[in-house]
Amino acid sequence: MAVEKCASRVLVLLSQLERLNEEPKVSDTDAIRQITGKILHIIQTQEKTRKEIVSKGSSGMEVILSSLENTRDLQTTLNILSILNELLTVGGGRRTGVFVSKGGTAILLQLLLSSSKDLPMNEELMLQIHSLLVKVGPKDRKFGVKARLNGALNVTVNLVKRNLQNSKLLLPCLQVLRVYAGNLVNAVSLGKSGTLELMFEIIGPYSKKNTTLLKVALDTLAALLKSKMNARRAVDRGYLPTLLAIYQDWHRNDTRHCHLIIRKSILGCIKNLTTIKLGRKAFIDANGMRILYNTSTECLSVRTLDPLVNTSSLIMRKCFPKNRLPLLTIKSIYQHPLSHVPSGGPVAQLYSQPPEMDDVVDESDENEATEVDTENEEDETEDNNENDDIETDINKLRPRQMQTRPFDELRVYERFCVEFTKDFKDYDFENCRAVFHPSSVNQDLNGPIIIPTTTLTSVRSPNRRQQLESVQLPKPTESPTELDGISLAKTPESKPDPDLVCSLGRLVLDGVDSVNGDCDDRSQDESGEQGLLVVPDTAAVLPLHDPDLYLEMVKSTRSVPIYTEVAYPDYFGHVGLDLREPIVERVYGVQRMKIFQDIERLIHPFDILDKVVYDLDNQSCPVIDNGNSLKFTSKFESGNLRKAIQVRKFEYDLILNSDINSNHYHQWFYFEVSNMRPGVRYRFNIINCEKSNSQFNYGMQVLMYSVQEAINGRPHWVRTGSDICYYKNHFSRSSIAAGGQKGKSYFTMTFTVTFQHKDDVCYFAYHYPYTFSTLKMHLQKLRALQTAQIYYREDELCQTLGGNSCPLLTITAMPESSSDDHIDQFRSRPVVFLSARVHPGETNSSWVMKGSLEFLMSSSPKAQSLRESYIFKIVPMLNPDGVINGNHRCSLSGEDLNRQWQNPNAELHPTIYHAKSLLQYLRATGRTPLVFCDYHGHSRKKNVFMYGCSIKETVWQSNANTSSCDLQEDLGYRTLPKLLSQIAPAFSLSSCSFVVERSKEATARVVVWREIGVQRSYTMESTLCGCDQGKYKGLQIGTQELEEMGALFCVGLLRLKRFTSPLEVHNHKSHVLDIENDLIDTRSIPNISSSTTYVLDEDEPAFLEEVDYSAESNDENDPVLEPELQDNLALPGPNSDSGV
């Protein structure tokens, strides 16, 4: 009751004040003073009465501001300012917004200006005004502009100058200066007015006095130094060494760490100074690297000091001198001559660059003289850019089936569709049995393939790579020693290594003991002669793998480097692990530790070996080795490693090769390592990665294949590596080489490995390798599985630029007979068109394709039913040349083939040109595919998911205004993804997106949907890392899971048939899809704001886990929260990248 009386009392007083404002008289001054005094007393004693003044419909705020604007009485002014301070203090967020909306900011600034003209100035009045401005400024977006136009900046600066010893008034003035400086133009103006010098009169060495004032002064200085002009002015005046000295003093004296926030603020000022080139140079000249390194090292043991360590690390990384990669040129070591180089294309641009501009580091700062007022434009830009890549033109979104080529030109593709015209009259349906004898296999290769595998001396390291020239047949005079089918053939006068004999006895044989008995009785012969390994028949374990056949396939594979070696994992084969490999949790502080080790290179340069141990650029000059270095090679199919540099005894920097006819796309790697010591921790740093983030930061490991383990019966690619992280390094390339992006830096992917075996040979890869020769071998073996019930045909779609064949498969079920009814049923089957491996580095797509092909060729009833339901047209590898030559993204044309589907060139993009032409032929003949799916791999998301095309969802996501009649579309495109989410444990429906983006308009998915008219046109993305949902949650993905996904995709197609049959669509539509609910639920799922980049543009929407690992970040975030340095805090949450 008392509160209600007070509230009503306030309203009465406000009404009286309003009447006095309407008819102001000189005699009313005392009355207004008394009323405002009473209001102040009430709101000071009754907090709830404050709500009445600013409640909805109340005019209280307008009355108070009107009184403030009209009064000339000092006490009344002080009363009103005190009222406003009370109103905006507790829970003042909404109230401050009301104050700003009623024009309160302008009234306050005008009062400040007018009061400054009264001499002497009233200290209490200035204190009240600045206290209010501190609260109001951050809530008023135009505060900086208003203050500058009003002339308030100079008033506050002059107050600071006059009150350097008056901390009571100085504190709010400094706080207001900080808000002023939030506007870039204001910051420049304040810098010219001597504000920087004022700040350094306040900031000083360690002291327990006035720490709050010091903190505000440092924050104000940091805000001022965000202006590059101010930063330059501060550097010119020598303030950077001063700040370093102040930081050292606080570090030494703050032994109990009571003033962490002040030390962090000093670092914030240093950080802003080092955003300019001049500041970075001054930092280096002032020995800043050593100072921050030493102080940070002393802080490492105290976890609460992590903010200081993180910010120091950020500054040191930023100031680490930018270097070019230690290469003569970042262009690929290999080039492939093109018959036609389009002017303006990437290859023409690449080779038109002057040699001296190839990799020149560009550290120039942005134009400092053009700092303009953009504070209002930035917010608008952010809003506008949120969906700027989404296509909003309905006319462009609507599929338009165009006959871009005359049918007479398309008629040549009839040879790929003979099943539509074949009558099968001459086919014996009762007695036919399909038997396959591979025509391309040398039928004379009946004996074992003998491969050098080891030496008997520890000095001469093994060379276990299979060289084509070394393939030899045993001579008749040789008598192989048989070990249960495993032969150890001996060359004349050679002795077998007992260790090797023992290990061979265990090769791929389950539960078989060593045939030669106890192997502890070892030979002491160290003659250095080689033992020869006869590879066993592993068909029981790998039914589609045949080492003999693989070698034959390699011989017909054409590579630009003309490879003569074969990697052991591709020759032996890979058996998928039954053991699940969990996603690795990163140890806290590992990234920081790696960065500090990199910084030590600059501080202690004499500790660095800098020894080149492998170099494709200088193959004619052999590397001189004393036996203490690892040996590397990548000169085999799909291999990619350009250079290896030993930087410390057990640490190596590795540089990847660019895609051929390109100077970028560094992600895929595949290389061999030998001459290792067991039990030693080796660190490997791949230093020229380009993507801004990677799943290596979120639990993904590299893959390793040990030859010794394979010989011992464990031929597996296994996830390995500890201390794995991915971060921006100090290597950079010019803006020209970076496609116009200024100051483009590289990233380091680092991992540590401990080898288990002496003199082993190990292979490392980005993901499970799958070479073109492996595909050819698998196709040969698959054809051998053909039965009388399977229609299987393999055609050559075209020849690639490198002279390799691009296979096209046709798979379906044979008609039951040659009767007209059965032939009609055969020809009326809908077409499903599948493709994969357009991006060579996405090897997981080939493993998924392998699973699909094996299922399609299997004898299971579901497979037979699927074959009877569809005719499959499959291009299992759209970019053989890229795969063969170890590219990550491009073909030999130096272009991303998945950006060429709109206008493919027959000479430069033959596989895309002919695949699209085949699709155009199918459409022209009335056989438009029911489903098109292009298999891909995704490097920055987890799970398996799909991208499709939808007008409705695209328009909804873009928030475009469109009438409902424009959004009519068949929603069947969601059927297959939903079915897959029900049957495939790795598939995530919530990660799917059906939005069409402008940057993806030339991809297969969009072009086939738009031009060919395939409603169910998809990209199916498989993670390179693992899953965060379903059965495989928390596990890294393996080849078994990928092949399972390929098989279950086929099962999904079989189920899809029920819902595409005209007789069953009506019955099942509502059962399968809650369409409208799905659409409503997923409107918030894909955050399609993915601004595409020049480097490694992907078929993907924005990535929730993407973290800014830039050392050039100018965010005002607390360093504790900066993702680039918070290690465990940067790790994704459980739903971090499944729902975008």
DSSP characters for 750-814?
EEEEE--STT-EEEEESS----HHHHHHHHHHHHTT--TTEEEEEEEEEE-TTS-EEEEEEEEEP
Predicted confidence band at 304 (pLDDT cuts at 50, 70, 90)?
Answer: very high
Question: Would the pLDDT of 2 be above 90?
Answer: no
What's the alpha-carbon Rg for the chain, to the nearest Å?
Answer: 36
Question: Would the pLDDT of 127 be above 70?
Answer: yes
Q: Where are the alpha helices (DSSP H) in 808-965?
A: 820-827, 844-856, 861-869, 880-884, 910-924, 951-958
pLDDT averaged over every residue in the chain: 80
The rounded Cα 235 to chain-centroid distance in angstroms is 36
Across 5-9, 421-425, 736-740, 1017-1021, the highest mean pLDDT is recorded for 1017-1021
Q: Do residues 558 and 884 make contact, with C-beta atoms less than 8 angstroms apart? A: yes
Question: Would the pLDDT of 351 be above 80?
Answer: no
The reply to whether 1021 belongs to the active site is yes
Q: Do residues 475 and 496 make contact, with C-beta atoms less than 8 angstroms apart? A: no
Predicted confidence band at 357 (pLDDT cuts at 50, 70, 90)?
Answer: low
Query: Could you report the per-residue pLDDT of 249-267, keeping only the tens digit for each?
Result: 999 999 999 999 999 999 9
Query: Could you report the per-residue pLDDT of 1054-1112, keeping only the tens digit for each?
Result: 999 988 765 443 344 444 444 444 443 444 433 333 333 333 334 433 433 333 333 33
Integer Cα distance of 218 and 560 in angstroms: 59
Environment class of 607 (CB within 10 Å of its CB; exposed 0-12, middle 13-18, buried 19+) = exposed
Of the residues 1021, 1041, 1098, 1100, only one is catalytic, namely 1021
Between 465 and 229, the more confident residue is: 229
Between 943 and 18, the more confident residue is: 943
Integer Cα distance of 752 and 749 in angstroms: 11
Query: Could you report the per-residue pLDDT of 380-418, keeping only the tens digit for each?
Result: 334 444 456 666 566 666 666 665 678 889 999 999 999
- DSSP conformation class of 1125: G
Q: Is residue 1134 helix, strand or coil?
A: coil
Query: Which pLDDT belongs to residue 523?
Result: 36
Across 13-17, 71-75, 432-436, 766-770, the highest mean pLDDT is recorded for 766-770
Predicted confidence band at 816 (pLDDT cuts at 50, 70, 90)?
Answer: confident
Question: Would the pLDDT of 1 be above 70?
Answer: no
Reading the block at residue 882, the tokens are: 């890229």
Across 156-165, 529-538, 985-994, the highest mean pLDDT is recorded for 985-994
Predicted confidence band at 358 (pLDDT cuts at 50, 70, 90)?
Answer: low
Question: Would the pLDDT of 1024 be above 90?
Answer: yes
Integer Cα distance of 583 and 1035 in angstroms: 5
Query: Which pLDDT belongs to residue 394?
Result: 61
Q: Is residue 487 helix, strand or coil?
A: strand
Least confident of 46-60, 91-105, 722-736, 786-800: 46-60
DSSP string of 1032-1051, one letter each residue: GBTBB--HHHHHHHHHHHHH
Between 960 and 77, the more confident residue is: 77
Q: Do residues 744 and 732 make contact, with C-beta atoms less than 8 angstroms apart? A: yes
Amino acid at position 317, single letter:
R
Between 1022 and 1123, the more confident residue is: 1022
> Nearest to residue 859, comparing CAs of 791, 787, 811?
787
Question: Would the pLDDT of 929 be above 80?
Answer: yes
Integer Cα distance of 463 and 466 in angstroms: 8
Query: Could you report the per-residue pLDDT of 728-773, keeping only the tens digit for each?
Result: 999 988 766 665 555 588 999 999 999 999 989 999 999 999 999 9
Environment class of 774 (CB within 10 Å of its CB; exposed 0-12, middle 13-18, buried 19+) = buried
Query: Which pLDDT belongs to residue 261?
Result: 95
Average pLDDT of the segment spanning 674-694: 95
DSSP string of 518-546, one letter each residue: ---S-------PPEEEEPP--TTT-TT--
Predicted confidence band at 1134 (pLDDT cuts at 50, 70, 90)?
Answer: very low
Residue 1030, Ramachandran bin (φ over 0: left; ψ between -120 and 50: alpha; else beta):
left
Question: Would the pLDDT of 537 be above 60?
Answer: no
Question: Would the pLDDT of 353 be above 90?
Answer: no
Q: Where are the alpha helices (DSSP H) in 568-632?
A: 568-572, 590-603
Predicted confidence band at 635 (pLDDT cuts at 50, 70, 90)?
Answer: very high
Q: Do residues 152 and 104 make contact, with C-beta atoms less than 8 angstroms apart? A: no
Question: Would the pLDDT of 291 be above 80?
Answer: yes
Query: Which pLDDT belongs to residue 627?
Result: 80
Count CA within 13 A, CB hemisphere, residue 540. Answer: 6
Query: Could you report the per-residue pLDDT of 24-45, keeping only the tens digit for each?
Result: 665 578 888 888 888 888 888 8
Integer Cα distance of 1009 and 882 in angstroms: 26
Percent of the chain with pLDDT over 90: 55
